[in-house]
Amino acid sequence: MKIAVLPGDGIGTEIVAEAVKVLNTLGLDLQMEQALVGGAAYEVHGHPLPESTLKLAQESDAILFGAVGDWKYDKLDRPLRPEQAILGLRKHLGLFANFRPAICYEELVGASSLKPELIAGLDILIIRELTGDIYFGQPRGRRIATDGHFPGTEEAFDTMRYSRPEIERIAHVAFQAARKRSKKVTSVDKANVLETFQFWKDVVTEVAKEYPDVALEHMYVDNAAMQLVKKPKAFDVLFTGNMFGDILSDEASMLTGSIGMLPSASLNAKGQGLYEPSHGSAPDIAGQGIANPLATILSAAMMLRFSLNQAEAADRIEAAVKDVLAAGYRTADIWSEGTKRVSTREMGDAVVAAITKTT
């Protein structure tokens, strides 16, 4: 089982080191190879996604990714910015299916900014399409307008588009995931205004006919944003496109207590996947040893389950995370009165100890 380990920038290196440590305690035959990505790769190779890093990713069964980006690269041309590395990996590997489980652990109910009764027991699965929509649609660019409200002036434009096969394949992913859960899919769109999302709604409704055991509900994205904080537990599988999913999943992370708790998996049609925390490189806290490594450790568990067929090892990691939270270990972002404040490394050590104890 070959794993490409791409720590990236900022806290990426700190949190990935803890996830690797946890993976190494499981006694599995994992071949991990590390490579530079993002700003770290730009410094050495002059490109955020060097040929050698892409090749390693393509040849691996799975990719464990930290985060990329730093303010100091903001002035670079867009193709050279660190963030292009993650977009490039998603595109080159065809990682169209993004899973983000938003789970509120019992011990962290008090860490959220929402009322405890709204989020206690929360367990939502967000499924986001990851390689289409307005983030990748062509044409895009800047030009002098020839029509519109101000002809003759500068304008910028992007293109929102989805093809039938793109919608069908991600819809199947959503319905199959719902089958293993509470058998309900909420498809989030903006069909009232956008033709792309009327088409989305039509195609999803057709695919739903193949899953008579799963209930399908449609919701406009603006209402979904409201319902997520009003009555989050009414969702089970929240299914949507690339841009709406980006925004709604950050919103959902706050239901779990911290963005440092939200893992993710991005899969392609072959089952190959990239696993990363849902947060970024957090330059504001990088190098201080205080970042929460649990989202990355939980992403490593998803990697074992989805790409490496090691469900039992994944269960052991997830149980260990519950154990350390129950024992009161907290990084700064989830700390509250009466709990033990620990560093990034101490949190990783605690997870390792919890796994070793049960072995």
Catalytic residue list: 135, 190, 222, 246, 250
Q: Which does 246 bind (CB under 5 to 8 A by kind): Mg ion, ligand NAI, none?
A: Mg ion
How far is 295 from 270, CA to CA, in rounded Å? 24
Instruction: List the end-to-end C-alpha distance of the chain, in Å, as a whole number.
Output: 21
Q: Does 280 bind ligand NAI (CB under 6 A)?
A: yes
Question: What is the residue type of 280?
Answer: G
Instruction: Say whether residue 18 binds ligand NAI (CB under 6 A).
Output: no
Q: Which is nearer to ligand NAI, 276 or 318 (CB)?
A: 276
Number of residues that bind ligand NAI (CB under 6 A): 22
- Spatial CA neighbour of 16 closest among 62, 60, 70, 65: 65
| 333 in a labelled binding site | no
What residue 347 binds from ligand NAI, Mg ion, none (CB within 5 to 8 A, per partner kind)? none
Taking CB under 6 A as the criterion, the residue among 260, 263, 273, 348 binding ligand NAI is: 260
What residues pair up with 65 in beta bridges, in sequence order? 6
Shortest separation between residue 254's beta carbon and ligand NAI, angstroms: 10
> Of the ranges 37-45, 111-119, 221-229, 242-250, which one interacts with Mg ion (CB under 5 A)?
242-250
**Contact letters (x/-) for ligand NAI, 59-88, by CB under 6 A?**
--------xxxx------------x--x--
The answer to whether the beta carbons of residues 270 and 63 sit under 8 Å apart is no
**Edge-to-edge strands, sheet with 62-67:** 31-34, 2-8, 62-67, 273-277, 263-267, 97-103, 123-129, 237-240, 184-189, 215-220
Under rule CB under 5 A, residue 246 binds Mg ion:
yes
Neighbour count for residue 321 (Cβ, 10 Å): 24
The verdict on 282 binding ligand NAI (CB under 6 A) reads yes
Sort 209 into a burial class: Cβ within 10 Å, 0-12 / 13-18 / 19+. Answer: exposed
Closer of 66 and 232 to ligand NAI (Cβ): 66
Which residues neighbour 274 within 8 Å (Cβ) at sequence distance 6 or greater?
Answer: 57, 62, 63, 65, 89, 90, 93, 95, 265, 266
Q: Which of 62, 291, 301, 324 binds ligand NAI (CB under 6 A)?
A: 291
Smallest gap from Cβ 33 to ligand NAI, in A, equals 20
Q: What single-letter DSSP state applies at residue 62?
A: E
| 301 labelled binding-site residue | no
Site for ligand NAI (CB under 6 A): which residue of 292, 299, 307, 310?
292
Residue numbering of the annotated binding site for substrate:
90, 100, 128, 222
Positions in the binding site for ligand NAI (CB under 6 A): 11, 15, 67-70, 83, 86, 259-260, 276, 279-285, 291-292, 295, 333
